[in-house]
Amino acid sequence: AALAVAIIRALDDHFKLGLSNEEINRLAYESETLVHGDASGIDNTLATYGKFVLFKRGTPPEMKEIKIHQPIPIVIGLSGVESLTAKMVSNVRRAWENNKRLYERIFKEIDELVMQSVDALADNNLEQLGELMNINQGLLNALQVSSPELEELIEISRRNGALGAKLTGAGGGGAMVAICPQGAEKVAFAIRKSGYKAFVTEIGKSVSKESSIISE
């Protein structure tokens, strides 16, 4: 999605099309749908606006910008295994169809964790946010979208001081994210020592130059 937005912005700039963020987002969503078959719309939205957003799928999707007190240092660890979104989505869908009541309890629990995380961010309570991420990771594990490599990255991060760590994206491979307000470099170093790739960045800094058009 980030690549789609970047390419659309580059074409917009080159051909002087004067696309609005809304149009860029819509075009990126269309390219996401072509790639994944059934895109949620969250990735293209985040890549377009570059902000912290609470997102709920729908037509139109519900979006709410989340303000945070200060940028949060994070470490991204790469499992080295490709994450196949379409495959993970269809696995979860099949399991849900066989066990709707059970799976819907897990989905509801994840929803509640997300809403509690918004409160934790509002309170700048990063310890609580970390705990919520750790529990969320367990629920994703219950949905069988984790992997041994992701679990190893997550354990290395927690053991080296991350307040919380979870897979990010579709799972089954791909990346994990750890929040590390102290010692992000230490976490990244430990990950690299175990043979994985890691990089340090932060979330919560606005990266879009245009002002947000996302409704509050």
70 vs 99 by CB, closer to a copy of itself: 99
Closest approach of a copy of itself to the CB of residue 167, in Å: 11
Whichever of 129 and 188 has its CB closer to a copy of itself, that residue is: 129
Task: Give the interface with a copy of itself as residue ranges (CB under 8 A).
Answer: 95, 98-99, 102, 105-106, 109, 116, 128, 131-132, 134-144, 146-148, 151-152, 155, 158
Q: Is 143 within 8 Å of 88 (Cβ atoms)?
A: no
| Shortest distance (Å) from residue 34 CB to a copy of itself | 30
Q: How far is the CB of 9 from a copy of itself (least distance, A)?
A: 39
Q: Strands 72-78, 197-203: parallel, antiparallel or unpaired by DSSP? A: antiparallel
Catalytic residues: 43
Classified as helix, coil or strand, 146 is coil
Alpha helix segments (H runs only) across 72-210? 85-98, 100-122, 126-142, 148-159, 184-193
Q: Which of 130, 147, 135 is nearest to 111 (CA)?
A: 135
Beta bridge pairs of residue 202: 73
Instruction: In whole angstroms, give the CA distance from residue 7 to residue 1.
Output: 10
Nearest by Cα to 43 from 74, 16, 90, 3: 3
> Cα(39)–Cα(25) distance, rounded to whole angstroms?
13
Nearer to a copy of itself, 68 or 142 (CB): 142
**Residue 167, strand partner residues:** 176
Select 1 or 176, whichever has its Cβ closest to a copy of itself: 176
Task: State in angstroms the smallest separation of the CB of 127 from a copy of itself.
Answer: 8
How far is Cα 93 from Cα 86, in angstroms, rounded to an integer? 11
